[in-house]
Chain A
Amino acid sequence: MITAGLVEALAGIVGARHVRTAPAERVTYARDGLPTHRRVPAVVVLPGSREEVIAVVRLLAAHGVPVVPRGAGTGLSGGALADGSAVLLVLTRLNRILGVDPKNRIALVEPGVVNARLSVAAAPHGLYYAPDPSSQTACTLGGNVAENAGGPHCLKYGVTAQHVLALEVVLGDGRVVELGSPGGEPWGPDLVGLFVGSEGNFGIATRIAVRLLPLPRAVRTLLADFTSLRTAGEAVSAVIASGIVPAALEMMDQSCVRAVEDSVYAAGYPRDAAAVLLVELDGGSEAAVTADAETIQSVLREHGARSTRTAADARERERLWQGRKKAFGAMGRLSRDLVVQDAVVPRSTLPDVLETIARIAATYQLTVSNVFHAGDGNLHPNISFDGRVPGLKARVDAASTEIMEACIAVGGTITGEHGVGLDKLRYMPLIFDAESLTAMRAVRRVWDPEERVNPGKVVPVHACREWSGIGTRNAERGTRNPIAPSSSTFPIPTSALAP
């Protein structure tokens, strides 16, 4: 129960001005980057240090109150939303870069550090942080860890999990554990790997050690445009088949290109193209990268590119990338409401899947814009609509589900990088059977036996209940119904996690 006494005690830890209880203030935290979901938290707390985070989590544990961690709120699955029974723990004030060790290429950061700021801080040492989600100018590294964030350049360099070396984590009961080691994995199973991508279900990272990479010495960015979506999809496979691994391989369709070209991030993409591909090549020497770029350019032309061009300088390269990375935000130009999907399909099926998506859009009479990580087969269909039109949201949901089912039918899965959160709970039973879901939940309970940290996310408990007999929580509403740890069918001791 959240009582006046608890709120007072929270204020005692973080200071009264960092505890938000007024309805208007809580309303501003009711959505993340996927605004179709809305939950108003009971209380918002903004701690200023790891010590305050620990004290807050311990206090909430003592009161049995659920806690939901949140970074910048740019997530795209409703993962950082808390309802009226929970406290939202906002980590934006923990934004210090604690150290950059250029010799060992390691940075130690607090969870509220904005992704792009770390690369800026590392740049004087000739280093950067590789995972670059499109929201990197806003999103935090803590959120990146929770979601195992991807980004265009993860095609070559891997997602967040490949770049996190060690973590300090506050568990739901307030105990602090250290996972991994900046020098490499010190013991047995990969607990860092387990934590990264846990969507706030396993605890709250308070310190993050990440790997930095040397800035590539040579970079070429190519823009190719196509008169059909299918040809562009086929060209993607051809690029990969060439044996050269691009740093990034991104696709945007016409609707997306036009939204970007109408915005301040206009990059000079041809507005009449059915699709454009953005291909980046990087490496240790100008000569090698130039040769690769020439090869890729001819592959693209052989596979139907109408034209290709190379960014002339760093400024043009930046412009081409800014257009791509801000494309999601530019969708607001098409309509006042937006749902972005996130699915992965085998790369070879891209041409067919894109056509299927177009067909679904036509059937439901919806505008779907595609902007995605083509090299990974990680699709992001964006559905634009006006939520004020009666019945339209239901149509959007139906189309979303159909798109997801089409992706699964060709051997794909329901999320590439945005996470499950709230939004994809309904799809989980489409790809996992009851036993798998039960096992996932059991793993979560190792870290958080009371399921008090970010409750009601990731694993659809309402379905799970029938299969496993544990819990009576309504995951869709996130209504809290405390479960005694002893009721778990998987009484795995947590002592293994103790420091």
Chain B
Amino acid sequence: MSDRGGFEALDACVHCGFCLQACPTFLATGDEADSPRGRIELMRALESGELAPDDPAVVVHLDRCLGCRGCEPVCPSGVGYGRGIEAARALLATKRRPAPLARAALWALTTPGPSRIAYRLARMLRATGLPGAVAGWGRLRFAMGMLAATRPVRNAEWGVRSPRVTADSARRTPHSALTTVLLFRGCVMDGLFSHVHDATMRTLEVNGYAVREVPGQVCCGALHAHAGLREEARRLARANVAAFGDGDGDEPVVVNSAGCGAMLKEYGHLVDEARFAARVRDVTELLAARGPRPGAPVDVQVAYDPPCHLLHAQRIADEPYRVLAAIPVLRVVSLPDAAQCCGSAGLFTLLEPAMSRAVLAPKLASLRTASPQVVATGNPGCLMQLGAGLAASGLRAAARHPVELLDESYRAAGYYA
């Protein structure tokens, strides 16, 4: 990394403005200060010292950035916006402590000891059915909706019947040599979405991968880096690199959370671990590389909503569609604004609720028109945000990870029998 700490990634900006319409916050406010180009102006002024990192107006507009990086794939000059905003946030963090709410959330969600208790309590609360019952628009009710959205969904609940399991249907793919992959469990994914991990392992195994668990791994550090806590992010990154044995093996590291995947792929810049970063694969990348193997029909209408950290940060566009295409009968409906952020953005939904809901609103409007039964997306934050939004606006659709759908298709096909 250069001595400019990431700000150099902004040098290519020539102010053309082609990013404006790709920015969810600019679309919500129409304000240049809430656009990528305006924020680059702020970041440049921060770096030059023209503006101070404790200037409240600077802080407000940089905090309001979702970090969705929707501006990057439309930028003709290839400005590294994501790297710039992380550099800027690290600079802001030198002048202030993170918001108490952000601190508390990071502590409860990512610290090994406390998070285990927090997730257990959350799962107990989830099991009561109360969060789903009170889900709505207020700050607390939306949070309850987010928790409810983490609950494993069964077919019957969303009114879709799958064919009965046929006992003698094909067994696992006869891949001659199994490829070993290492599962990255993460924090929120492990605490609230362990059913997605299960589905990930099962579907990968059907497609010729042997999934191995790796002890000693920790949170990826994305939430910390986005909050400007770079040193904490680096500490976590080094722990992960050590756990996954950098240099010893070249086994792919499989991730089913787009946010974590994007972060792990950034370890080259964060802690100079490019070799580790090169091993990281999203689960849909691995599945698509093998086809994936078709399953049994699932009669359901699905809207795929790509997570920003998959589409924009990792530039993975087609693979999730190929995973869904392996499910016969399943119909994918397209959303006009699919490439746009849902407003989740990690802790953003908790810290900037007003902007987060404003960004979510157009997405929900187009979902109302498309009226799918399932909204598929491969990131815990998006699953929770969309799930809560669907519940709050009374839409009868479930938010689910694409591999859950494939898993169901495989179960129906009897691959697990």
Binding site for B on A (CB under 8 A): 20, 22-25, 27-35, 46, 72-74, 90, 92-93, 95, 112, 114, 116, 135, 137-139, 260, 262-265, 326-333, 336-338
Contact = CB atoms under 8 A, between A and B. Distances in A.
Contact of B76 (A25, A72, A330): A330
23 contacts: A20-B31, A22-B56, A23-B55, A23-B57, A24-B42, A24-B45, A25-B31, A25-B57, A25-B61, A28-B32, A29-B32, A30-B41, A33-B17, A73-B37, A93-B30, A135-B17, A138-B18, A329-B16, A329-B77, A332-B77, A333-B76, A336-B11, A337-B14
**Can you list the 9 inter-chain pairs with the closest CB atoms, starting with the nearest?**
A332-B77, A329-B76, A92-B30, A28-B38, A22-B57, A329-B16, A24-B57, A330-B76, A332-B14
Interface size class of B (residues with CB under 8 A): 35 or more
Contact of A264 (B12, B41, B78): B78
Given A22-B57, A326-B18, A332 B13 contact: yes
A90 B32 contact: yes
Contact of A332 (B21, B57, B76): B76
A331 B14 contact: yes
B347 interface: no
Contacts of A24: 33, 42, 45, 51, 55, 57-58, 61
A187 to B, nearest CB: 35
Contact of B51 (A27, A265, A327): A27
A22 B32 CA distance: 13
B60 to A, nearest CB: 9
B72 to A, nearest CB: 9
B15 A31 contact: yes
Most buried by A among B14, B15, B18, B56: B14
B210 interface: no
A33 B77 contact: no
A383 to B, nearest CB: 12
Contacts of B79: 332
Could you tell me the dominant secondary structure of chain A's interface residues? loop
A30 B32 CA distance: 10
B73 interface: yes
A334 B30 CA distance: 30
Contacts of A95: 30
Contacts of A262: 78
Interface string B66-97: 00000001111111000000000000000000
A181 to B, nearest CB: 30
Given A23-B57, A262-B78, 12 more contacts: A27-B51, A46-B31, A74-B20, A263-B78, A264-B73, A264-B76, A326-B18, A329-B18, A329-B77, A332-B79, A333-B77, A333-B78
A262 B75 CA distance: 12
B76 A265 contact: yes
Contacts of A31: 15, 41
A28 B30 contact: no
A28 B17 contact: no
Most buried by B among A24, A72, A74, A135: A24
A46 B30 contact: yes
Contact of B77 (A28, A32, A330): A330
Contacts of B18: 135, 137-138, 326, 329
A331 B77 contact: yes
